[in-house]
């Protein structure tokens, strides 16, 4: 629906006809029916001065996620679980999108305010960058470990180009940290995403994309004035996987950076890291008991802290010891993605 007074779009379009909208919103989902419904409602409220489509890549959900997406007017495609990878799913979705600008969103990322989309679109155009990502805020109360995720998002805008990347890495900064980016809420030019497909990493394929993109001469921007509320499922399995995948991907990105820059960017700290991680259970136990002694009513919060910390620590140890098995990871083969079908 278009308000004739302001000429602004107040809902997204279901473009079943072969039209080409200027902007596509690409959402990845697996068994997140309620989160997806909330996200699509947020998108309905967005005010943008041009048309945009919504494309949903469903990873064989069995909870009704695909049905919700279809009911709310999006184009839905099924991506087989047997082929799933974060990079693979995005690469597949990029080819299905019709817009020149593609907004990437996780189903559990919810735009804050009705001008979020317009800010993202305007920023990538005004800064003339290849891609941009925005600030993420916790959705509701989270434990200390979950808060750490949101500390990486700066309060000021910035742009990363090749000169800045090389300067910071040569000064000793970790290339993994310098290449900060998040596909949970970002915008990328379609031509760039096709030229630099996301690598098939277990985690942080977005940071590898930044490395590939910036080393080729493009720039990446961060927009602090646009934000989304973000929430991870608080399960032992989920946080174990985060710790495991994060440590593997850190090493892989350092290796990719070393190859791209012709210098060794690896951090020689395996022994110290493993010892520190093995001591983590003692810290977890101590902090849990301390919280309970202060206030016995905090049992639930203490249990959550222990679960999250224990899961992430165990995952980090396994990832640190096994990352070499994933060396020489390359971009996924796009030809195998042709079996994915429209739902």
- Reported as a single tens digit per residue, the pLDDT across 289-313 is 555 556 655 666 666 667 777 787 7
Which of 91-105, 122-136, 155-169, 285-299 has the lowest average pLDDT?
Answer: 285-299
> How confident is residue 1, by pLDDT bands cut at 50, 70 and 90?
very low
Whether 228 and 107 map to the same domain: the answer is: yes
Sign of the alpha-carbon torsion through 279, 281, 286, 291 = positive
User: Is 228 contained in some domain?
Assistant: yes
Is the model's pLDDT at 326 over the cut of 90?
no
Whether 95 and 134 map to the same domain: the answer is: yes
User: Is 52 contained in some domain?
Assistant: yes
More confidently predicted of 327 and 262:
262
Dist. CA 92–CA 310, nearest whole Å: 35
Question: In CATH, what number is assigned to the domain containing residue 10?
Answer: 3.90.550.10
Whether 209 and 319 map to the same domain: the answer is: no
Dist. CA 151–CA 316, nearest whole Å: 19
> Which domain-ending residue is among 178, 198, 232?
232
How much is the average pLDDT of 13-41? 82
Dist. CA 320–CA 195, nearest whole Å: 31
Residue 252's domain spans which residues?
238-326
DSSP 294: H
Whether 296 and 282 map to the same domain: the answer is: yes
pLDDT digits (tens, 9 = 90+) for 177-222: 999 999 999 999 999 999 999 998 888 899 999 999 999 999 999 9
């Amino acid at each position: 629906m278009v308000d004739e007074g302001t000429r602004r779009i107040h809902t997204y379009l279901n473009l079943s006809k072969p039209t080409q909208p200027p902007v596509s919103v690409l959402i990845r989902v697996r068994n997140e029916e309620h989160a997806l419904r909330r996200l699509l409602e947020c998108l309905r409220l967005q005010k943008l001065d041009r048309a945009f489509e919504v494309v949903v890549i469903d990873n064989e959900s069995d909870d009704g996620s695909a049905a919700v997406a279809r009911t709310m007017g999006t184009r839905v495609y099924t991506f087989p679980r047997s082929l799933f990878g974060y990079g693979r799913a995005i690469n597949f979705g990029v080819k299905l999108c019709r817009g020149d600008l593609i907004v990437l969103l996780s189903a559990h990322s919810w735009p804050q305010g009705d001008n979020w989309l317009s800010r993202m679109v305007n920023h990538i155009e005004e800064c003339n960058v290849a891609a941009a990502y925005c600030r993420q805020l916790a959705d509701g109360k989270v434990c200390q470990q979950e808060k750490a995720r949101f500390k990486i998002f700066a309060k000021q805008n910035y742009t990363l180009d090749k000169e800045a990347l090389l300067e910071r890495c040569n000064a000793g900064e970790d290339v993994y940290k310098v290449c900060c980016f998040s596909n949970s809420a970002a915008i990328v030019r379609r031509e760039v995403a096709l030229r630099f497909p996301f690598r098939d990493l277990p985690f942080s394929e977005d940071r590898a994309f930044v490395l590939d993109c910036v080393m080729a001469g493009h720039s990446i921007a961060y927009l602090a004035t646009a934000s989304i509320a973000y929430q991870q499922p608080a399960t032992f399995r989920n946080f174990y996987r985060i710790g495991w995948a994060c440590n593997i991907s850190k090493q892989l990105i350092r290796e990719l950076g070393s190859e791209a820059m012709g210098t060794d960017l690896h951090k020689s700290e395996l022994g110290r890291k493993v010892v520190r991680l093995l001591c983590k259970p003692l810290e977890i136990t101590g902090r849990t008991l301390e919280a309970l002694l202060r206030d016995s009513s905090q049992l639930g919060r203490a249990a959550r802290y222990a679960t999250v910390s224990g899961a992430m620590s165990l995952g980090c140890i396994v990832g640190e010891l096994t990352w070499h098995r994933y060396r020489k990871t390359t971009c996924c083969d796009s030809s195998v993605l042709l079996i994915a079908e429209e739902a």
